Amino acid sequence: MTSPEAREEAVLEAVRERRERVNEAIPEELPIQRPERLYEASRYLLDAGGKRLRPTVLLTVAESLLDVEPLSTDYREFPTLNGNRIDIMDAAVSVEVIQSFTLIHDDIMDDDDLRRGVPAVHKEYDLETAILAGDTLYSKAFEIMLETGAKPDRSVEALNVLATTCTKICEGQSLDVTFEERADVSPEEYLEMVEQKTAVLYAASACLPAILLGADEETIDALYGYGLDIGRAFQIQDDVLDLTVPSEQLGKQRGSDLVENKQTLITVHARDQGVDVDNLVDTNDVEAVTEAEIDDAVAELQAAGSIEYANTTAQDLVAQGKERLEVLPDNEARELLRDIADYLIERGY
């Protein structure tokens, strides 16, 4: 057994190396063309950064399935289980493009100013351009997914996963909005919302390579489940980090979810325990809240066992997700997928 620190370093290195290749592929798939302003706006967030976790999961699943050594094989001419070769990088770029489209539209809906340390697209450009940039990325993601060269029946299945995933993301985002006005959201409802809003894109990222490379139904389903599990754990961990990581490190005000009355698994649990969640923090203004107020609120949530509950739930999901990986051949890439699952809840920010 290697140490947790060594495993985390290995994950970060693996993510870094795939990120570089994904970053090379993005301008190839989405060149700045006429009308330039539209394509510049479409690329703005993609170029601003991002860990590329979803493409990393996708590419690593492909490597495990085909039992090739990580990073040893050209993603643009990747072997399949049927003998032909396909461009699996296209699939990886496609899910990242979908992710970017949802961020652009989400920022408009939440009227958020900043994303990845740069202005949101509707702030850097304007509302009109941001809506259009998101819509352009949406169809481009489908175009790119159609270019892998996979067998037509597999492409059809992949497109179907991509389309239903986008529908679920919209449904999840819509539920999230209605939850903000409700004080009786159950942990089950919250987890369902997180599944639709966040986890389905991890699920798609994990199962798409299996579909495109010709794997069987059992493998596809297990990988979809892995993605759902780690995607939910990822979101729960995000909610925990919002309360526990210093503002400077977080890049935004610690406890902003509480201030803005956003539902999280933590607040949903605390309310169940009788905590007066809506009055944990007096102000609704992230500019006005003090660190002491946040400290008090966190102490109360800790006393109610809510942070512990969220941590345990995330850990259980990760354990379950890792079990599902048994469907893959035992190899280095599979080990990396296990480590990625751990990383999602062990990461500090």
How many other CB atoms are found less than 10 A from the CB of residue 292?
A: 8
- Cα gap 319→326, rounded to integer Å: 12
Between 176 and 342, CB nearer to a copy of itself = 176
The answer to whether 173 contacts a copy of itself (rule: CB under 8 A) is yes
Contacts of 96 (CB under 8 A, 6+ apart): 22, 26, 46, 50, 52, 54, 55
Q: Which of 60, 136, 267, 306 binds a copy of itself (CB under 8 A)?
A: 136
The answer to whether 32 contacts a copy of itself (rule: CB under 8 A) is no
- Cα gap 140→38, rounded to integer Å: 13
The answer to whether 180 contacts a copy of itself (rule: CB under 8 A) is no
Min dist CB 90 to a copy of itself, Å, is 13
Q: Which of 140, 232, 269, 324 binds a copy of itself (CB under 8 A)?
A: 140
Min dist CB 22 to a copy of itself, Å, is 21
CB 166 within 8 A of CB 138: yes
Residue written as tokens 């977080």?
Answer: 250
- Read off φ and ψ for residue 115, nearest 5 degrees: -155, 130
Show the CA angle centred on residue 53, arms to residues 51 and 57, nearest 5°. Answer: 155
Q: Please provide the distance, in angstroms rounded to a whole number, between the alpha carbons at the two ends of the chain.
A: 25
10 Å CB burial of residue 334 (0-12, 13-18, 19+) is buried
The answer to whether 139 contacts a copy of itself (rule: CB under 8 A) is yes
The answer to whether 175 contacts a copy of itself (rule: CB under 8 A) is yes
The answer to whether 322 contacts a copy of itself (rule: CB under 8 A) is no
Q: Which of 19, 43, 54, 105 binds a copy of itself (CB under 8 A)?
A: 105
Min dist CB 173 to a copy of itself, Å, is 6
> Which tokens sit at 56?
């990393």
Window of 5-13, 70-78, 154-162, 241-249 that interacts with a copy of itself by CB under 8 A = 154-162
Min dist CB 247 to a copy of itself, Å, is 27
The answer to whether 108 contacts a copy of itself (rule: CB under 8 A) is yes
Binding site for a copy of itself (CB under 8 A): 34-35, 37-38, 105, 108-109, 127-129, 131-132, 134-136, 138-140, 142-143, 146, 151-153, 155-156, 159-160, 162-167, 170-171, 173-175, 177-178
